[in-house]
Amino acid sequence: GRRRAMEGVRVLVTAGATVERIDPVRYLTNDSSGKMGFAVAEAARDLGAKVTLVAGRADVAPPGGVELVRVESAQQMYDAVLSRFAEADIVVKAAAVADYRPAQTAARKLKKTEATLSLELERTPDILKALGERKAPGQVLVGFAAETNDLAKHAMGKAARKQADFIAGNDVSKPNVGFGHDTNAVSVYTAEGLVEDLPLQSKRAVADRLLAIAYDAYKARAEA
Ligand code: PMT
């Protein structure tokens, strides 16, 4: 049966939100709870895979039975993921990574004045894009896309630009989809088009199906 179907397969998962420091007590982050990525890590573990979970800020506890690497910023997540990428067969990037960070992080707590304050933001490194550029033929790379409009167009565009094998697009404008919820609905795309619609269901059920799609692609390559 499928119970230990992924025995020996090495799965690298990212989950949660990155935290970009403004000063020692203030930061920029987002609404990711970690639930989607943790569900993927747990599902892969239950299928017998060897799981590495790189986790940012999260609202729930990570699953046991996986190698856990805790990070804070996009830069730390980039370093943690890139240094482990060569040992991964399948990578699933469910984390919500900040696209911008403060250009400067103050060493001391900022003091308020009567004047307005502008924060200068700079781009963070794009982890998924860096993996796409380094991907070996046998590796399968799965990203997520959180969108509020034109889901198919944006998800297919991301798959192409980032050289990801699959993009799981969630339309986060819909109820009970995406950030914070225990449920999700995703449409899985390649750069060429739709692979499968996964209707609203538990994040664990989404994770199981998404892993099955990634693992089938991985096996197909191994047999080719
Ligand atoms: O954590 P939960 O509360 O369970 O919510 C789950 C989720 C909504 C966070 C998840 O399902 C999801 O959609 N994650 C990706 C959200 C996102 O940041 O999407 P994006 O379109 O900005 O990024 C696209 C892909 O590139 C993602 O795989 C992301 O991890 C990756 N990325 C983005 C920016 C960056 N600098 N580096 C990246 O690798």
Q: For residue 79, which amino acid is it? A: D
pLDDT at 223: 87
What is the distance in A from the centroid of ligand 1 to the CA of 219? 25
pLDDT at 94: 98
Active-site residue, selected from the candidate residues 30, 149, 176, 184: 30
pLDDT at 2: 60
Residues 11-50 pLDDT 10s = 999 999 999 999 999 999 999 999 999 999 999 999 999 9
Name the residue with the closest Cα to ligand 1, atom 5.
Answer: 179
What is the distance in A from the centroid of ligand 1 to the CA of 75? 15
Name the residue with the closest Cα to ligand 1, atom 16.
Answer: 96
CB contact set of 11 (below 8 Å; sequence gap of 6+): 41, 44, 49, 50, 51, 52, 88, 89, 90, 91, 92, 211
Average pLDDT, the chain: 97
pLDDT at 177 over 80: yes
* Residue numbers belonging to the annotated binding site for CTP: 99, 109, 125-128, 144, 158, 162
Residues 48-101 pLDDT 10s = 999 999 999 999 999 999 999 999 999 999 999 999 999 999 999 999 999 999
Q: Is 151 exposed, middle or buried (0-12, 13-18, 19+ CB in 10 A)?
A: buried
DSSP state of 15: E
pLDDT at 209 over 80: yes
Q: Which fold has domain 10-99+117-223?
A: Rossmann fold (3.40.50)
Enumerate the domain spans of the chain: 10-99+117-223
pTM here is 0.97
What is the distance in A from the centroid of ligand 1 to the CA of 183? 16
